[in-house]
Structure 1
């Protein structure tokens, strides 16, 4: 599907009033636990709800991210949602998997939702996690109540619009994983943190010192992991492959899957996203039938970190608009 300009009208997201959110704060990472499923351990962080009758939410990070990417947003939404953020196989503290493709990750999420026995969830995905969430919502609508996509990595072909485009030649080399591992060891953890923040965040002043320290701890964890570099390269290769398949005939197109999503959907895009083409979020809002769009002009790739309160207001607006849980939570007070 060709990306088009932003001239077509799309439904705008509704923002709940600011005063309905908890007061400003910087919570520490939510506590985590290991979940063994099908012989493999996944690491899951729980954000308990702060009100009775809350509904279930599942948060899925992007390429190179982890469950910690959702600390702030999950905390803000705890007034309505009991959240679980999962580390995808090979990322964060989850064990490596066998395949690192969008369909494989989607299959893992489906199995986890079924295993957790919480019923249908409000599903959130950022970047790669957004692509995975679209596939889950399309294939198993019974498991998804609403869908929130933040800078979803849905297919685009002009990789000049992504900083990761410079990695494409690496994928063709037989020693790509070894080269990536060597590159990882050449950079000091502090330098890598700054590179990642500069790539993902438009305004670094929005990232507090505590979040920087936590990012450094995450990077140091990667340096201790023998599998991380290989997992990153294989996942990036799988994502690029899904992009290419989406422009070929057949049922595997992520854009075709997006068109079949029936869950009420919120799409959030950053106007200064350096990793996903900024035209993708508006296109996703046009393609997914019951969707609304929130474009944040001065925000980068991880709006759930950089503009957590605005994103939370849009999510609560979606839940109110669609009647999800409104009978238990009066947002009109």
Structure 2
């Protein structure tokens, strides 16, 4: 911060030089305009223009300029009448300042530079882009003024004083120096012009991408105004910096640069940046990927999974005791608890610039003990895969993770509004994470309660990245096996870009056709929930993509193949059409494994979505059969397995409750009938039959009741040779099996 403060000692017209900063002078409409230049970026770097606010000059832009200079060629002009530039006879109004900026860009020969403006500079920037489309390639508006609800001097003065408490103390010295240089009369006249200007009238005419940035403590720019500005732009996105004030470029330059650099084409901040959001706060606890990751990792550490791993282990017993109290509430209150519980995980959309997929990947590998493994599984999520990994003593790294994003303004039956609300946040996230694909998912059938407060951003790694690569390299020796889990489930999507799709509906109780075209049971469902609609009106789907939650993005396969070749690993690909297609095969693998280890093989444990526990499964000598959801297609699949498999003496069945009587949910009577396949005991595990599918206490009772079953020492892990023997012995035994190994 010393360099900007030294500039307070500059004599007008004679700027200081040094520290990588030089000055340029350009004659514009007969006036000499001064600009500071930071020109030590690599050859071919993009040009960016930094634009100051009311009464100030390029002095207070230097901290941000210094942060951007390693990657961009930075220009910071003083507009006529300010800083070192010559003064016109009278203060220029907003169109006059916009014309001066445009003339300066043309005179300096800059070709479609990018623009970063602060405060009043945002008004000038928008006016310039509106008057001269194509001059700037893209723009960042930092603290855009003025809020239409506070366009008078006293209101703005009060807001400035409140915000000033959150600025760096050195800003005061610069403000005093700059206001003396331009003169109080010019500053007041410019302020009157700015207050009369209606920024919102020009926003719709801006034809380039724009990033709006607001400090969380900025009283000059309330959050609702920043959102209004963003929403009025044809291609706008909003980033928020929780600790910052109004002059982010001076008081918060590092976090501001980290937030805007990817948008400007520079490198993302990365997982080690101080602004990066903690990985544990960027990933949903109540999700399939989190459940299979935690379940597998806990098993490899010799631990079970109380409360599905969603709370710290020390608090899990308390959570399991408290959850039954929720079931005593009326159905409507239980739904509210679910809404707020799931929505509480959501990330504010303006903070997505701080989410790092690589930081999440680090968090994933940190769940596992760092030791040699005979194999690893990378790719799609599936509870059956978690049990395969547990049997092999191998880690499982999901390609997909769920980032819940706050979106309370969109109802579950408004998919078009959901898509529109997610565009800016999605672009902000993708700018900061170039190696992931975003599948924005909106499922008003199964996720009705959650969608009241949040939306689902599912991210798929398209590159391995350092965290996954280092972990696999450190833990797999030459000759180990790298298993690629390739769920080939696909879904109709509305494509927003090469790495961005919107998926309406999801794999579960009804097919895509009913989501997009409706049916009698969809109409009945909407009627029961008080919706005025009788079918949904989603945006048209013109493409297909890997299903958001379960499908494998084949872009990752290239990195997996190359790494396996370099390290001397055997690469095997297990492909399946549906995430629970593996369940019959894994159930029979466990029977075969238990028999070879002298354990009983007649207890079937039917798990449901996140209700799984690999460690307790093997400790209780249970044969796992995992169902993705308690829906009719899953009940049909379980029935086919039970009709084909050797009978079980005992069947224990869990049911995940998502809180709504959604289309396709199999009624409790259907599940009760399936328990009748047991030769001796068929019983629900942790299920309150009267309250299903609003049985939220099942998240605690599942672990309690499973851990109460008789337990055995876990058997020795399967070897890869044993797995190959089993696959060879059982090939072709399962009619309709949709699993291939290659």
The TM tier, using the shorter chain, reads: 0.5 to 0.7
8 A contact 1:41–1:95 mirrored in 2:
yes
Distance in 2 between residues matched to 1:135 and 1:49, nearest whole Å = 30
Residue in 2 that maps onto 1:54: 45
Residue in 2 that maps onto 1:283: 228
Mapping for residues 143-154 of structure 1, pairs under 5 Å: 143-154=135-146
Residue in 1 that maps onto 2:166: 203
Distance in 2 between residues matched to 1:65 and 1:161, nearest whole Å = 18
Q: Are 1:219 and 2:176 matched, yes or no?
A: yes
Distance in 1 between residues matched to 2:85 and 2:162, nearest whole Å = 24
Equivalent position to 2:72, from 59, 67, 81: 81
Higher mean C-alpha deviation, range 135-144 or range 118-127: 135-144
Equivalent position to 1:237, from 157, 168, 192: 192
Distance in 1 between residues matched to 2:173 and 2:57, nearest whole Å = 13
Change beyond 3 A, Cα 1:109–1:68: same
Mapping for residues 1-333 of structure 1, pairs under 5 Å: 27-28=3-4, 30-97=21-88, 98-159=90-151, 163-165=155-157, 200-204=163-167, 207=168, 212=170, 216=173, 219-220=176-177, 222-223=179-180, 225=181, 228-242=183-197, 246=198, 254-320=199-265
Distance in 1 between residues matched to 2:206 and 2:58, nearest whole Å = 24
8 A contact 2:166–2:217 mirrored in 1:
no
Q: CA deviation at 1:199?
A: 5.6
Q: CA deviation at 1:277?
A: 3.7
- SS of equivalent residue, structure 2 residue 134: helix
- SS of equivalent residue, structure 1 residue 145: coil
Q: CA deviation at 1:75?
A: 1.3
Q: CA deviation at 1:38?
A: 1.5
Deviations along 1:300-329, one digit per CA (max 9) or x if unpaired, are: 111112221121122222134799xx9xxx
Deviations along 1:256-281, one digit per CA (max 9) or x if unpaired, are: 32112121111101222233344322
Distance in 2 between residues matched to 1:256 and 1:108, nearest whole Å = 21
Distance in 2 between residues matched to 1:82 and 1:52, nearest whole Å = 9
Q: CA deviation at 1:37?
A: 1.6
Distance in 2 between residues matched to 1:109 and 1:150, nearest whole Å = 18
Distance in 2 between residues matched to 1:232 and 1:95, nearest whole Å = 15
8 A contact 1:45–1:84 mirrored in 2:
yes
- Structure 1: tracts of 5 or more residues without a match: 1-24, 168-195, 247-253, 327-331
Count how many residue pairs are aligned between Structure 1 and Structure 2. 255
Higher mean C-alpha deviation, range 58-67 or range 309-318: 309-318
Distance in 2 between residues matched to 1:317 and 1:162, nearest whole Å = 37
**Max radius of gyration: which structure?**
2
8 A contact 2:140–2:211 mirrored in 1:
yes
Distance in 2 between residues matched to 1:304 and 1:221, nearest whole Å = 16
- SS of equivalent residue, structure 1 residue 285: helix
Distance in 1 between residues matched to 2:56 and 2:221, nearest whole Å = 15
8 A contact 1:96–1:231 mirrored in 2:
no
Distance in 1 between residues matched to 2:47 and 2:36, nearest whole Å = 13
Distance in 2 between residues matched to 1:88 and 1:288, nearest whole Å = 25
Change beyond 3 A, Cα 1:160–1:40: closer
8 A contact 1:54–1:79 mirrored in 2:
no
Distance in 2 between residues matched to 1:222 and 1:99, nearest whole Å = 13
Higher mean C-alpha deviation, range 231-240 or range 266-275: 266-275
Deviations along 1:11-41, one digit per CA (max 9) or x if unpaired, are: xxxxxxxxxxxxxx76556333432221112
The two structures, once aligned, show a CA RMSD in angstroms of 2.9
8 A contact 1:49–1:79 mirrored in 2:
yes
Higher relative contact order (CA 8 A, sep 6+): 1
